[in-house]
Amino acid sequence: MLRSFQIGKLFGIPLYLHPTFFLLPAWLLLTNGDAGMVLSLFLLLCLAGVFACVVLHELGHALMARWFGIGTESITLYPIGGVARLRRMSDKPFEEICIALAGPAVNLVLALLLTPLLFITAGLESLQEVGVSRFVFELLRANVALLLFNLLPCFPMDGGRVLRAILAHWKGQLHATEIAVRVGLVVALLIAFLSIPLHNPMLIVLAGFVLFAGQMELMGLRQREAHRRAASFAQPVLEPVLNPEAPRPDEAFSGFAWDSRHRVWVQWHKGRPVAYWG
């Protein structure tokens, strides 16, 4: 498995680069093979500038999380963007909303700062030329795209986390996460289909990442919830509680299994259900 390598630190947070990141500049150069040396270098410079904004976006999440007493293990850059790995997720909706919105807020501030700079530089040269105004324009456009894209209700992206936090007020964190993951599934499929008219395969990769990451976080939350409930109370299991259509573990299995029909965790001991939590 490919391992990320550290390229620096920001506010004490290690910054990593995943080896697959280099697929992005390679793809950029391949799709603009006849651009010439100057334009190719300019495109790479724009890419570096955009990912500097991505780092600031993730740093916004990390510093807001630090404000609430939550540390950040690392920030890692991938071809599809960045990921700030927090030491834990907040179980308080207000804190989760603040942490989720801190990243897009950084992009909003950057866009507001770049707008007057664009007007100043555009008066000196054309946006069609390779120069400062074109560079500022590309950064501005990228920050607006990052702002709008991350606010989509697509869990575990920022907008999806805001949706989950709002729903958690009435549904509880687990049920809210399940709803947010379903909404994220629909949005991710729309993103994947959008890649066809836009001729952008990176959107398919992004949609796949969203689906995978959302399911992994939901699975982890279910396991934590099961252990938390197991520590507080248990109920004897009754056969009608189990889903008769679900495959049962073999005789040697001992552990927890999720019954999706009845939305309960079932504890098995040597192939027999002994308790459930729901």
Q: Which position has the higher pLDDT, 88 or 274?
A: 88
Q: How confident is the model over 256-264, as a mean pLDDT?
A: 69
Integer-rounded Cα Rg, in Å, for the chain is 23
> Average pLDDT of the chain?
84
CB 212 within 8 A of CB 184: no
- Is the pLDDT higher at 192 or at 250? 192
The predicted model scores a pTM of 0.78
| End-to-end alpha carbon distance in the chain | 37
Question: Residue 54: is its pLDDT beyond 60?
Answer: yes
pLDDT exceeds 60 at position 239: no
Tell me if 272 sits within 8 A of 260, measured CB to CB.
no
pLDDT score, position 97: 95
Most confident of the ranges 112-126, 159-173, 201-215:
159-173
The residue annotated as part of the active site, out of 58, 96, 138, 178, is 58
Over 80: is that where the pLDDT of 125 sits? no
Q: Are 243 and 278 in contact (CB under 8 A)?
A: no
B/e letters for 16-38, b = 16+ CB within 10 Å, e = fewer, are bbbeebeebbeeeeeeeeeeeee
Condensed to tens digits (0 to 9), the pLDDT of residues 68-116 reads 999 999 999 998 889 999 998 888 899 999 999 999 999 999 999 999 9
pLDDT class of 241 with cuts at 50, 70, 90: very low
Active site includes 58? yes
Average pLDDT of the segment spanning 174-192: 89
DSSP type of residue 248: P
